[in-house]
Amino acid sequence: MTTGDRPILLIEDNEQNRYLLTFLLEQHGYRVVSAADGARGIAAARSLAPALILLDIQLPTMDGYAVARALREHDALRDTPIVAVTSYAMPGDREKALEAGCTGYIEKPINPQTFVAEMERSLKRPGDALAGASPSVGGQP
Ligand code: MN
């Protein structure tokens, strides 16, 4: 398998945010697969082996913290970077996200100028086996 084909998985219930983040990431050459809730996100993560998971914390039914914990229960997803994306700005939220298994944290509102670079900081963490997420040029739209 060519890790270069591994997508970014976006778990986000808000359609406008899905659109914006997908647009930004595709502009940078990433392939993006999105899921609108935690259950679908977990299923997608298990079948796709994404290079990185962007995880909205405010999700219906199952919040992002619960989703992160569930993702980490699967051996194949144990080392996958998970970046929490949240509009909560309460002290302790970052710690809560890290405790749940997230490796990074980006606050909403999304800054289109910096978002991809912020995400890439988690992508390039040492030890995460991520040759796979390097942007590919000339891939499928
Ligand atoms: Mn949300």
| Residues forming beta bridges with residue 107, ordered by sequence position | 86
pLDDT at 91: 76
Q: Hey, what domains does the chain have and what are their CATH numbers?
A: 3-125 (3.40.50.2300)
Please give the distance, rounded to the nearest whole angstrom, from the Cα atom of residue 125 to the centre of ligand 1: 26
pLDDT along the chain (141 residues), means of 10: 73 97 95 97 97 96 96 96 85 89 93 95 64 51 53
DSSP string, 7-73: PEEEE-S-HHHHHHHHHHHHHTT--EEEESSHHHHHHHHHHH--SEEEEESS-SSS-HHHHHHHHHT
Please give the distance, rounded to the nearest whole angstrom, from the Cα atom of residue 19 to the centre of ligand 1: 13
Report pLDDT digits (tens) over 115-136. 999 999 988 755 544 445 555 5
pLDDT at 75: 96
Please give the distance, rounded to the nearest whole angstrom, from the Cα atom of residue 133 to the centre of ligand 1: 24
**Rounded distance, CA 13 to CA 59, Å?**
6
- Among residues 129, 141, 133, which one has the least CA distance to residue 4? 133
Return the DSSP state at 5: G
Is there a contact between 52 and 80 (Cβ–Cβ < 8 Å)?
yes
pLDDT at 11: 98
Please give the distance, rounded to the nearest whole angstrom, from the Cα atom of residue 140 to the centre of ligand 1: 28
pLDDT at 139: 47
